[in-house]
Amino acid sequence: MNLLRYGAERKSWILFLVSLIYLITLSSIQYATLQIEWHDSGLILYALATPKSVGFFWSYEFDVPFLQEHSSYTLGLLSFLFRFFPYLELWLILQCLSIAYGIVLLERFFSEVVPDFEFSWILSVAFLLNPYVTHAHLYPHFEVLWIPLFSGFLLYAIRGSLYPSLPFLLLALMVKEDAWIYALGITTLLFGRVSGKILALYSFIIFSYTSIILAWFTSTYFPDTVSHFSAKWGKSRADILIDLFRNPFSYIKLLISGQFKYLLLSVLGLPLFSGWRALPGIAVAGLWISSISLDRAFLSFYFGLPAILLFYYSIPFSISNQSHWLTQLEWNKKWILLPIIGLVLISIFLLFFPGNYISRGPTVPKWIEKSKTNTLNSLEDVSTLVRLRSGCEEKVFSSFSYAAYLFCGNDIRLPYRDWQNIESGKWYPDLVVLRSPEEELVPASKSVGEMVLYFDKSKLYRKEDYGPRILVWRKIEP
């Protein structure tokens, strides 16, 4: 028994380290080649380490408390850590560790559902290499916290360990306001595996959190919530439900669309063999695909992650069903290894050839292309930005491409939102860092050339020489 336990722990450590090496390699090269931009990395950092002059846990994008934009109470807890180290590097390390730990919990969940399945670690690697998972990692965002939190909840729930499962569930619900939808979907996967009383308890917790925290507490203490749903779906949640009953076929059509078929291809259709347990993943995918926002409808960036999680949670049940069918046919159950290997191969193939259905976000081909272009120059620029950050000036005006690297818990502002405040004399930065010769990825009312001319002519600023790509001006002390 001790040998089996040692073997399982050793396998988990190896899986954790392999996942961590993969994730750190991607993030390190991405970081070193200036591929990490303000959206959404910088916006998250700004919320986690909001300058004291602005407030606590603030949304730079909407200039409201971040809990008014997203009900991300888990980030509120993390913000106390980022008060001491308010840098991009900490978030990247935290993200790599979270996903790698989530992969281990996922593998253990697979082993719980199919104990005699010897290749659950291959299935876990397939999840890590899934294009939606890797691309979510390449666009740093707090939704990746669902990988360890939902996986931990599901693992301990299926083991019958109630008390360890509850912190995972509560923290997962606190990641973002739509977590309750995925939590309900995950809870339905437990039918037939845990008692009805436990299922009722989990459902009660989910609905209680939704009604007390989201519907009452957030709306009371953080009114005028940013309406992401209405803006990105073109209608309210109630309207969506009404429309679903009135026009069900219009939503069913979405499930034969190119983007849904691509999503299903990325999991090799295996969730369908799990029977009704594929329904939560299908429903969540359908919800995202029905958005009028192309990024969401194509499940780009991190928007495909909830559906992929639900699909992968159903795959071990699919394997169990297929193993049962093979036994009935008196075939060797090791034939089940073929679709699992196929799952790994299709994940790798789609990583390198993402097609049109996921290419709106950061992809591995884009990552490779940008990594090969002016790598030495990028390394030099990153080093320069980190040196500039070390001064941690109170007020910094930065290019969209540099801001996440320069943020240190200070009052940082970007051209697309705050150029007019500078031009009108309402705000004077202590340090200005612009990128040349490229234009801003999110344009301001003036071009980079016009902003350069403004600071060159200003008697308030002195230009410093940091090379042709990083243009720096420092405010002259009176």
What is the chain's Cα-based Rg?
24
95 with 297: CB under 8 angstroms?
no
> What is the mean pLDDT of the segment spanning 169-179?
97
Strands 395-398 and 431-435: parallel
Show Cβ contacts of residue 453 under 8 Å, excluding neighbours closer than 6 positions.
Answer: none
Task: Name the least confident of 36-50, 220-234, 422-436.
Answer: 220-234
- Residue 3's pLDDT band (cuts 50, 70, 90): very low
The fraction of the chain above a pLDDT of 90, given in percent, is 76
H and E: helices and strands count for the chain: 25, 7
- Residue 203's pLDDT band (cuts 50, 70, 90): very high
> What is the mean pLDDT of the segment spanning 265-279?
96
CA atoms 350, 354, 358, 364: torsion sign: positive
pLDDT on residue 373: 76
> What's the pLDDT tens digit per position in 361-372?
889 999 998 888
> What is the mean pLDDT of the segment spanning 161-177?
97
Q: Report pTM.
A: 0.94
User: Counting beta carbons within 10 angstroms of the beta carbon of residue 326, is it exposed (0 to 12), middle (13 to 18) or buried (19 or more)?
Assistant: middle
- Residue 186's pLDDT band (cuts 50, 70, 90): very high
- Cα–Cα distance measured from residue 95 to residue 31, given in angstroms and rounded to the nearest whole number: 13
Q: What is the DSSP letter of 334?
A: G
Q: Does pLDDT of 170 surpass 50?
A: yes
> What's the pLDDT tens digit per position in 324-358?
787 777 777 777 888 899 999 999 999 999 888 78
Q: 290: helix, coil or strand?
A: coil
289 with 232: CB under 8 angstroms?
no
H/E segment holding residue 321: helix 305-328
The mean pLDDT value of the chain amounts to: 92
- Residue 5's pLDDT band (cuts 50, 70, 90): low
pLDDT on residue 349: 96
pLDDT on residue 98: 98
Q: Does pLDDT of 244 surpass 90?
A: no
Q: Does pLDDT of 1 surpass 50?
A: no
The DSSP string of 389-431 is HHT--SEEEE-TTTHHHH-SSSEEE-HHHHHHHHHTTS---SE
> What is the mean pLDDT of the segment spanning 1-26?
81
The more confident residue out of 145 and 11 is 145
- Residue 252's pLDDT band (cuts 50, 70, 90): confident
pLDDT on residue 6: 52
- Residue 208's pLDDT band (cuts 50, 70, 90): very high
154 with 129: CB under 8 angstroms?
no
pLDDT on residue 359: 75
> What is the mean pLDDT of the segment spanning 58-64?
95
The DSSP string of 216-281 is IIIHHHS-S---HHHHHHSS-HHHHHHHHHH-HHHHHHHTTSHHHHHHHHHTTTGGGGGGGGGHHH
Q: Quick one: three-class SS letters along 19-70?
A: HHHHHHHHHHHHHHCCCCCHHHHHHHHHHHCCCCCCCCCEECCCCEEHHHHC
> What is the mean pLDDT of the segment spanning 40-57?
94
pLDDT on residue 257: 82
- Cα–Cα distance measured from residue 225 to residue 86, given in angstroms and rounded to the nearest whole number: 26
The more confident residue out of 242 and 471 is 471
The more confident residue out of 358 and 151 is 151
pLDDT on residue 7: 59
Q: Does pLDDT of 249 surpass 90?
A: no
pLDDT on residue 449: 94
- Residue 230's pLDDT band (cuts 50, 70, 90): confident
H/E segment holding residue 297: helix 294-297
> What's the pLDDT tens digit per position in 102-139?
999 999 999 999 887 778 999 999 999 999 999 999 99
pLDDT on residue 2: 52
**Which phi-psi region, left, alpha or beta, contains residue 386 (left: φ > 0; alpha: ψ -120 to 50)?**
alpha
